[in-house]
Chain A
Amino acid sequence: MTTDSYALHSDDHAHDTASHGSLKSYLIGFGLSVVLTAIPFWLVMTGVLDDKQVTALIVLVFAAVQIVVHMVYFLHMNTRSENGWTMMALIFTVIMVVIALTGSLWVMHHLNTNMMPMHDMSQMP
């Protein structure tokens, strides 16, 4: 009885860790990331769009999509592996990263704009 459940368990674990991709999924991931890398570089290098803000926004969106593509096709992220614990850890990390990044940028931006006007560094000898 106990050996049975033991064998079942180890079988379970083996299935958990064996979430590899196939040749097809690797090639799809590679193709997508080539396109998702090439377009932002092309946008910035040629300066097709006059508005820099719009270009920056598009570049950021492409980066976000490419990160998801890498996560799915190269790192084989899914909600099932390790009983969902990898996904839980990822979600927690993403929340922490978002708080750290937006918090720092937001606070420091306000600090900068509320500073007393200082002497212009570029005018210094």
Chain B
Amino acid sequence: MTAFFQDLGMTYEWAWFIATMSGILLIALPLMLGVAMIIYMDRKVWAAINLRRGPNVVGPFGLLQSFADGLKVFLQETIIPSAANKGLFILAPILTFTVALLSWAVIPFGPDAVLADINVGLLYIFAVSSLGVYGVVISGWASNSKYPFFSAMRASAQMISYEVSIGFIIVCVVLWAGTFNLNDIILAQKGHGLGFINGFFFNPLLFPIMVMFFISALAETQRVPFDLTEAESELVAGYQTEYSSMSFALFWLGEYANILLMCALTSILFFGGWLPPVDWAPLYYVPGIVWLLAKMLFFFFCFSWVMATVPRYRYDQLMRLGWKVFLPLSLFFVFAVSLWLMITRYSA
């Protein structure tokens, strides 16, 4: 895009600046729109599974429900509890929202459609997503209230636990692809399964890893069955209890942006990202972003499906799953994958 602006007669610096700025807007604005629509989809899927209608009043098929909710929240009064730590109380939702948007800088939407094509792309996502816990912890502490504080404690323990296994899972994929660059990881999946299926999920060594990644993603984004941080039957609304108006909406948007990011990551790491599902020439005429969005929507459907059907875990069960099941299993797979690669790829 820089070259395009340079052709308009700008210096390189200005062209770069404007190209980057428009790139950021091109990602962030559709993302916000996508979050609004995905909340609608989430509610529709739960409704369908519960044999209800779901949102169906605002706009055709209730499509504008999220916007109506957004407007309602926007017009509410912002209430800051008098005993709260004011600065941090306001900072927390901003932090959550910003961090949720930051990771999208390295997500490739097509062969060239990526804002920052850096060679540590996957590490960057891992680093930024590990910052997500601060929004929850700070809001829990700054609210100066019992329920949010419990929620903050739970969140910090939970997210650290599952980050460990996500780290090992990422290592397996990186070992197989031989790179941290997300675009190169996608290209490494071309024709991976039986010579014509694009995606690592077809690999018997990586398929269990994909399942673990999906479950860890549920835990990392605090979705059901791991939504102990906002378990409404125990903690009112968890860390969001004291929030109202836009500060609450920022948490909400950030949470869904994170869920979308995890859907995007699952499709990029295991299902070939913007590659068509099958390595067949005519399918490449469809733009890559269509394939990526289709895969993301499928995984988002799985997220809502799980939400509508699975009961919440108990906290000790959550910790057990993270430390006693996923950690040894993912560690074992790191060894298994490296052994297999040593024998097949690097034995010479």
Partners in one complex: no
Give me the interface of B with A, judged by CB distance under 8 Å: none
Give me the interface of A with B, judged by CB distance under 8 Å: none
